[in-house]
Amino acid sequence: MSQRVLKAGRSGRKEGSLFVTARRQLTAILVAFVVILYLASAAAIYAWMDRLTMSEIDTLLEVTARPVIHRALLLAATAGVTGSQGVGAPPMQSGSGGTYVVVRAASGAVLYESAPGLSSVFGTPQLSGGALIDTVFWTQGNAQLRVLTQPVIFPDTQGFVTVQVGMNIERQVSDLRLLRQVLITVGILGAVAALLIGFFASNRALKPIARSWQRQRQFVADASHELRTPLAVIQANLDVLLSHAQGSILDNLEWLSNAKAEARRLTKLTDDLLTLAKTDSAQTQIRRDTVDMAGIATRVVEALEPLAEMKGLSLQMEQVGGESERFVVQGDEERLYQLLVIIVDNAIKYTETGSVRLRLSRQRAAVRIDVADTGIGIKKEDLEHVFERFYRGDKARERAQGGTGLGLAIAQWIAEAHNGRILSRSTPGVGSEFSILLPAPSTDTHASLK
Ligand code: ADP
């Protein structure tokens, strides 16, 4: 197992920092997105409220100004357009209901002001025709005033006075200020929340990627290790051959056959690696043909019979039920053949005496194929790992048997690609049983057996 554990070295740290950077970038993108979205909507809300408040104030101002203008006309008529302040009664009570009034003659002279110094706060109006509304600051009263400046023309004399009516808008301004503070506070809290959520969400999103990255790295490390061994053996045997350069081929048959066996192993290993690499990149297409599993099992038995015979094992096949249509599945014939070969080949490989039995049966919506042997068995602690890539119970022995540790990983992928699964049971020293379950089309084609 030791070679399967990746050394946490420089590459591990580099990989770690790669994911930390990716996590930071994802979080930054999320926070930036939330902040921009919030700023835009908060600015729109504030602008809209500001406009609404001001337009309400201005409407109120115009309504309030009407009687003041009327009184101003009276005042001006009494005093003469150029008359002086203090003639007649004041047009309004100063500051009543927060309303401030200044009346000026055409010359700019103040005819009336509702509070002392108010005319200088309002300023000399620069009118070009119509009315004007503006906001002024009154430092003395520590308030903000919205001021309507309205010229009033006398039709008979063509003279005019200017009426300025101001309203204290401190309450509305402070309401808007409060809204601004609320929007800023919510914005800051939102940004902090987005930061935290972004951090945790990106962490969660990256976890499966990090895991599969780690698996891939493990796979490459294991594959290089596995490829190096046969190459080293071939090289060693060729070295021996070279040192026996004078001898005949017959004299050196041992080295040659060693090299050939390793070359064969190398071919199988690269084939298996290629198969798994293709499954990882989802390049492998699984056909969905009508396939008779009884026919495939017969072919597998015929193909592996000589192997079993060589070891003095009996290889038997039994069909529970008889009619072969009971064992029909939808799938890829070639892949299903490969799956069965892997399981039966393992059974023969890891059995020294006794038998290997194949049993086909129906189990509810599935075709079930049990492959039982009387071999060495698998230790309990190994049983849960045997489907992992490059996992071998006893490395030296299984390597000597020609195993690559990839067979069951491929078998499991084939079963799962058919929505099926493989179960395994074993008793060390007694034997093992692998059961393949594949969904049967007649009852439920797409049923997953997981
Ligand atoms: P290998 O090429 O080494 O056989 P597999 O992936 O096919 O690789 O099997 C993984 C490991 O599972 C084997 O190395 C062996 O230890 C164990 N194994 C698989 N099938 C059997 C079996 N029928 N009996 C005993 N051990 C088995």
- Over residues 286-305, mean pLDDT: 94
From the options 1.10.645.10, 1.10.287.130, 1.10.10.10, 3.40.50.720, give the CATH code of 206-280: 1.10.287.130
344: which 2 tokens?
Answer: 């039966």
- Over residues 9-38, mean pLDDT: 82
CA–centroid distance, 382 to ligand 1, in Å, is 10
CA–centroid distance, 302 to ligand 1, in Å, is 21
Ligand 1, atom 13, residue with closest C-alpha: 392
Domain ranges in the chain are 2-176, 206-280, 289-439
Averaged pLDDT score across all residues of the chain: 85
Question: Given a cut of 60, is residue 40 above it in pLDDT?
Answer: yes
42-56, 76-90, 193-207, 278-292: least confidently modelled range: 76-90
29: which 2 tokens?
Answer: 């993108």
Ligand 1, atom 14, residue with closest C-alpha: 392
From the options 3.30.450, 2.30.30, 3.10.450, 1.10.3470, give the CATH code of 2-176: 3.30.450
CA–centroid distance, 391 to ligand 1, in Å, is 8
378, 389, 427: which to mutate for ligand 1, most atoms within 8 A of CB? 378
What pLDDT digit, counting tens, does each position of 268-280 carry? 999 999 988 888 7
Check if the beta carbon of residue 362 is closer than 8 Å to that of residue 326: yes
What pLDDT digit, counting tens, does each position of 346-355 carry? 999 999 999 9
Residue found under tokens 């026996």: 244
Q: What confidence score (pLDDT) does residue 358 get?
A: 97
Q: What confidence score (pLDDT) does residue 409 get?
A: 94
What pLDDT digit, counting tens, does each position of 316-333 carry? 999 987 665 689 999 999
Percentage of residues of the chain with pLDDT beyond 90: 48
351, 408, 414, 423: which to mutate for ligand 1, most atoms within 8 A of CB? 408
264, 268, 346: which to mutate for ligand 1, most atoms within 8 A of CB? 346
Percentage of residues of the chain with pLDDT beyond 70: 85
Local confidence band at 8 (pLDDT 50, 70, 90 cut-offs): very low
Ligand 1, atom 19, residue with closest C-alpha: 346
**CATH number 3.40.50.2000 is the correct assignment for the domain at 289-439:** no
What pLDDT digit, counting tens, does each position of 135-171 carry? 888 776 677 889 998 888 776 666 778 888 888 888 8
- Closest ligand 1 atom to 376 CA: 25
| Ligand 1-lining residues (CB < 6 angstroms) | 342, 346-347, 350, 373, 375-378, 386, 391-393, 398, 403-409, 432
CA–centroid distance, 101 to ligand 1, in Å, is 101
Ligand 1, atom 22, residue with closest C-alpha: 347
